[in-house]
Amino acid sequence: MRPQLEARITSACQQWASGGEPALEERMAPPCRALAGPTSRCLIEETERSGRSLGVISELLAGRFGDDSEVVVKRCAGRLLGLPAESFMDVPIRELAKRFKAAAAPALTP
């Protein structure tokens, strides 16, 4: 499971960081792969630790990002930044993602 997760994280990282520019996307491959390893390990570990394995699997199979997945992502964000796992529980992650996308869109327009 981890190799597939790492591949998806790497791909998403490259797409997000490059803004669709092929040359930049290619150059982003090494740093994105380096980020994908610890991120995938964290996601798997936090899925197990949080007791939300069944919920996360159900959400993945349904192709959606739900409440269980959000908890796991927030716990990993804290861990990967060296903070307590619960640090981001009150942060509206979906709103932050929307804002990052909106802020990046004007910068990506030629």
Looking at 4-13, 30-39, 91-100, which range is the least confident one?
91-100
In the chain, where the domains are located: 2-108
- pLDDT above 60 (res 9): yes
pTM: 0.76
Q: Give 44-98 as a 3 state SS string.
A: HHHHHHCCCHHHHHHHHHHCCCCHHHHHHHHHHHHHHCCCCCCCCCCCCHHHHHH
* Residues contacting residue 42 through CB under 8 Å, at least 6 positions apart: 76, 79, 80
Question: Per residue in 44-61, pLDDT tens?
Answer: 999 999 999 999 999 988
Question: Per residue in 12-47, pLDDT tens?
Answer: 899 888 888 899 999 999 999 999 999 999 999 999
* Residues contacting residue 52 through CB under 8 Å, at least 6 positions apart: 68, 71, 72
